[in-house]
Structure 1
Amino acid sequence: MTHDGHSMLAFAIKWLPYGGGDEHLLPEFGLVPSAFYQRLQSVLIQRAFLGIEFATRQQLLEQCAVKLASATEPIRRERKGRRERKGIQIA
């Protein structure tokens, strides 16, 4: 794992009990939350053994999924609104 991967993992574990520490991501890593959680999720999925407990890994994966889903929700609503304004049927 790269140094960045280790740093991201350590940060995520530290902030896991507090909801992620999203406000610190840009100054710490130069990443917006969606980019951070995409990269963290990739690190967690690609590595079979990271030296962390299984439960912690699962919690981090769940947090990534929640954060990424909430990041894309405004985009989905905006696209839906545009389609409705154009008169496109939405199933």
Structure 2
Amino acid sequence: MCTRRNPTVTRIDALVHKAREIADSAGIQMSPHEIDILEFATEWAPYGGNDEEAYVRFGLTTREFHTRLIRLLGSPAARALGNSTIAKLRDQCIDRLSRPS
């Protein structure tokens, strides 16, 4: 039986792999946790994010998660995600961070 991977998941895997390569070539240390945050955010971006799952998966409040994500989006490694993905994620972060706690 042949199983096919979802093309969106394959694209996200490729982008995250490229982000790791850029970070490595620039001598930037990205922890596996930071890479997981970028991957998770990119997966959920088309759906507007998933704050509840972010808490379960990373143990971070909505504010903590989006604060870390917006910092990661400014890193050279995030460039591999592409301008439109970065803009979408940054907009989601700004929206979440502007909401009252």
Same fold (TM over 0.5): yes
Is 1:14 the counterpart of 2:43 in the alignment? yes
| Counterpart for residue 78 of structure 1 | none
5 Å-filtered alignment, 1:1-91, equals 1-45=30-74, 47-50=75-78, 51-70=80-99, 73=100
The alpha carbon displacement at 1:68 in A equals 0.4
Once residues 26 and 61 of structure 1 are traced to their aligned partners in structure 2, the CA distance between those partners, rounded to angstroms, is 19
Structure with more relative contact order (C-alpha pairs < 8 Å, separation 6 or more): 2
SS in 1 for 2:97: helix
Taking only aligned residues, the RMSD between alpha carbons, in angstroms, comes to 1.2
Structure 1: runs of 5 or more not aligned: 75-91
Segments of structure 2 that go 5 or more residues without pairing to the other structure are 1-29
Q: Which protein is bigger by CA-based radius of gyration?
A: 1
Counterpart amino acid of residue 57 in structure 1: I
Match of 1:81 in 2: none
Q: Please report the TM-score for the alignment, with normalisation by the length of structure 2.
A: 0.65
Offset at residue 11 of structure 1 (A): 0.4
**Count of matched residue pairs:** 71
SS in 1 for 2:49: coil
CA distance in 2, matches of 1:2, 1:54: 22
For 2:36 and 2:69, locate their aligned partners in 1 and report how far apart those are by CA, in whole Å.
Answer: 10
SS in 1 for 2:66: helix
Structure 1 moving runs of 4+ over 4 Å: none
